[in-house]
Amino acid sequence: MTDIKGKRILLGLSGGIAAYKAAELTRLLAQAGAEVRVVMTEAACRFITPVTMQALSGNPVHTDLWDASVPNNMAHIELSRDCDAIVVAPASADFLAKLALGLCDDLLSALCLARECPLLVAPAMNLQMWGNPATQRNLKQLRGDGVAIFGPASGDQACGEVGMGRMLEAEEIFEEIDACFQPKVLAGKRVLVTAGPTFEPIDTVRGIANSSSGKMGYAVARAARDAGAAVTLVSGPTALAAPRGLERIDVSSAREMYDAVMARVAKADVFIGVAAVADYRPKEAKGHKLKKGTGEMTLQLEPNPDILGTVAARKNAPFCVGFAAETENLEAYADAKRRRKKVPLLAANLAQHAFGADDNQLILFDDEGKHELPRAPKLVLARALIGHIAGLLPKK
């Protein structure tokens, strides 16, 4: 599901209570097929033991700048030479300051200075330390030096205070590491994605909806972000957390989704309509709960606006990608929809096999014909879709 398999990750731990999360991060990386080597500072060893990290990584843990077990006693050189990335989690305020100034008085800081691979850090510290001007100056310097900084988040801290400085959770850091290995095929592009179902109110408590979970749309938004795009996600009602690093706009009805898209589409280079938008809505939504009667009830419906068709018909329209969820005659209906909407690319799937599931199967239709993507986790399909889109975009 990820591109971490086979990668060599050097995981560094500096001192901080968040060091316990590094254990779970090590487990996630190892489960994904990465080779993990752990380097700990003296302070980190006061929060979690090298034995724990060795058991989880399956490799010896290094703590000493003068480690004689490394060839030529050059641990600060040898340990990073075959690495695909160095990840420091947690990265304390002190360690960030070392990195910003180029100080290297221990093994981990020396490795970071002597590296030839990307450096990724996950800060963790007290909220006052995070907000201190010195820390913020150091972060600005590190960003300018090309260091990737993950987080932090706001939340409860070990000191009993609440605020910015809490290290991201292990799974969030894992996703950020995975994103760093993705090709940046949409770098500099602005992508607008719709996802999830819509809810069309009948009265104040009832409405028309569908069983779309939003998982495919959220996977597409994440894949576009991982490909280097600036992403805006317009989402119908879902229980999903939005991927980090993008703008999320929450809507409910098809008209709200239409308005949100139209307000933002002029700035988009790519529009991907993944949402399962209701074709119709009740003509009149009651302002009170309808009481149950003894006979039949007639509900008059009227069409919702065509979001994809309207975007595709715009002057200077973005590159438009539609989705078709069918229950039968998939290829015929999907190809007809693409031609009717006049979009360059349409992704089709069977709704009964896709809604709510963690995996999917897609057929892509474009001017060259059809391209089948076999059943796989939705993130894998989303990344394949983004790669296909990138190949169709006009080259400058």
CA-CA-CA-CA torsion sign (266, 272, 274, 280): positive
Candidates 381, 328, 385; CA nearest to 358 is: 381
Marked catalytic residue, from 83, 104, 112, 159: 159
Query: Beta 190-195 vs 369-377: how paired, if at all?
Result: unpaired
Contact present, 49 and 77 (Cβ < 8 Å):
no
Contacts of 259 (CB under 8 A, 6+ apart): 251
For residues 28 and 176, give the distance between their C-alpha atoms in angstroms, rounded to a whole number: 12
Instruction: For 158-184, give the secondary structure using H, E and C.
Output: CCCCEEEEECCCHHHHHHHHHHHCCCC
**295-301-304 Cα angle (round to 5):** 155
The H-or-E segment that residue 155 falls in is strand 153-156
| Residue 250 burial class via C-beta count within 10 angstroms: exposed 0-12, middle 13-18, buried 19 and up | middle
| DSSP letter assigned to residue 273 | E
Q: Is 159 among the catalytic positions?
A: yes
Positions marked active-site:
159
